[in-house]
């Protein structure tokens, strides 16, 4: 009996053209609406002083991605608001450690509203592949503890 190759045969059911079109297109409205709803609810909970750690994490991620977009030339006008939002989120984290209540001050709420608007404009103006690349770049920058990363 002859030897047979036991190599795994990978499925090629992926439609390459549809995959390329999906990567080059702007993110669909249903996904964007889901993200927007989560961001707005997190911001509202923080405004009311009833924020959770998940709400805080969502706002931090929003601010970090917006900052990465700005530093890479896509909407650099958002960077001053990102700095104000970062300071406010840092204060909220310190306040949570002391009082176990998560909330933001007025300046931080306004800064985060501006950051959310900038981020929405940034992600709707680029292809989904660019958006995913910026998310990955943000993740890698945080993991590598880059010079601009603030650890809380």
Q: What is the mean pLDDT of residues 7-25?
A: 76
Q: What is the mean pLDDT of residues 80-96?
A: 93
Question: Rounded distance, CA 148 to CA 30, Å?
Answer: 33
- Please check the confidence at residue 27 and state whether its pLDDT lies above 90: no
Count Cβ atoms below 10 Å from residue 56 Cβ, excluding itself: 20
Q: Are residues 88 and 112 in contact, defined by beta-carbon separation less than 8 angstroms? A: yes
Q: So what's the pLDDT on residue 152?
A: 67
- Please check the confidence at residue 104 and state whether its pLDDT lies above 70: yes
Count Cβ atoms below 10 Å from residue 58 Cβ, excluding itself: 20
- Please check the confidence at residue 43 and state whether its pLDDT lies above 90: yes
Q: Are residues 94 and 104 in contact, defined by beta-carbon separation less than 8 angstroms? A: no
Closest among 44, 114, 47 to 80, alpha carbons compared = 114
- % of the chain with per-residue pLDDT over 90: 54
Q: What pTM was estimated for this model as a whole? A: 0.81
Question: Rounded distance, CA 42 to CA 102, Å?
Answer: 11
């Amino acid at each position: 009996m002859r030897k047979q190759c036991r190599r795994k045969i990978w499925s090629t059911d992926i439609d390459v053209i549809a995959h390329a079109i999906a990567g080059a297109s702007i993110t669909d409205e249903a996904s964007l609406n889901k993200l927007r709803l989560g961001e707005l609810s997190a911001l509202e909970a923080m405004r009311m002083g009833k924020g959770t750690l998940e709400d805080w994490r969502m706002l931090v991620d929003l601010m970090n991605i917006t900052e990465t977009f700005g530093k890479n030339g896509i909407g650099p006008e958002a960077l001053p608001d990102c700095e104000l939002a970062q300071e406010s989120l840092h204060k909220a984290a310190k306040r949570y450690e002391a009082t176990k209540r998560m909330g933001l001050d007025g300046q931080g709420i306004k800064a985060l509203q501006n950051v959310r608007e900038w981020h929405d404009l940034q992600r709707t103006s680029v292809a989904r592949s660019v958006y995913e690349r910026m998310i990955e770049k943000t993740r890698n920058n945080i993991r590598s503890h880059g010079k601009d990363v603030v650890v809380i």
